[in-house]
């Protein structure tokens, strides 16, 4: 679910974790994770339990997204800061009438293809037929 949404949005970089890596991440005692029918939430405390870091808040329905952020907002009286990595099209930005959250840090990422013809050959026929532009700066 999260993989499909992020691939469609193309704003948070590639997801390269396999099932074993995800299992190791979720087994860490400091990670709080919630799974429901149409969403997943994971977060942990940082900086001597002063700040909350949201590792993932992915939901299909608006109700689940509101529930996740309401849950996290419940820590507002305890956490000094809340860090979350969300894309510009994320539902997070629709949760309040006014834009109370601000951009604190922007991470740029890039995928560089070294051998485009070999890369094309490795892709499915549907994706290989998609036109692309290779630009190297």
What are the residue boundaries of the structural domains of the chain, listed by start? 2-103
91 token code pair: 């539902």
Q: In this predicted model, what pLDDT tens digit does every residue of 41-88 receive, in sequence order?
A: 999 999 999 999 998 888 888 889 889 988 998 988 899 988 887 777
User: pTM of the full predicted structure?
Assistant: 0.60
- pLDDT the model gives residue 8: 47
Whole-number pLDDT of residue 109:
65
What integer pLDDT is reported at residue 43 of this predicted model? Answer: 94
Q: What pairs with residue 83 in β-bridges? A: 53
CATH 3.40.630.30 given to domain 2-103 = yes
CA atoms within 13 A on the CB side of 126: 0
Q: Which two tokens stand for residue 52?
A: 């909350």
Under 8 Å between Cβ of 74 and 60: no
Alpha carbons within 13 A on the beta-carbon side of 116 = 8
What pLDDT score does 48 carry? 92
Q: pLDDT category, 5, cuts 50, 70, 90?
A: very low
Is 72 within 8 Å of 64 (Cβ atoms)?
no
Residue 11 — very low, low, confident or very high, per pLDDT cuts 50/70/90? low
- What lies within 8 Å, CB to CB, of 104 at 6+ separation is 83
Interatomic CA distance for residues 17 and 135, integer angstroms = 28
């Amino acid at each position: 679910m999260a993989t499909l949404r992020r691939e469609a949005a193309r704003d948070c970089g590639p997801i390269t974790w396999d099932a074993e890596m995800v299992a190791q991440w979720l087994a860490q005692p400091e990670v709080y994770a919630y799974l429901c029918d149409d969403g997943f939430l994971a977060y942990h405390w940082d900086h001597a339990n002063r700040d909350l870091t949201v590792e993932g808040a992915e939901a299909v329905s608006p109700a689940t997204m509101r529930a996740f952020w309401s849950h996290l907002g419940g820590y507002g009286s305890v956490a000094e800061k809340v860090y979350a990595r969300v894309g510009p099209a994320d539902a997070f930005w629709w949760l309040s009438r006014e834009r109370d959250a601000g951009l604190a840090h922007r991470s740029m990422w890039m995928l560089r293809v070294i051998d485009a013809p070999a890369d094309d050959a490795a892709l499915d026929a549907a994706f290989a037929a998609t036109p692309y532009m290779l630009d190297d700066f």
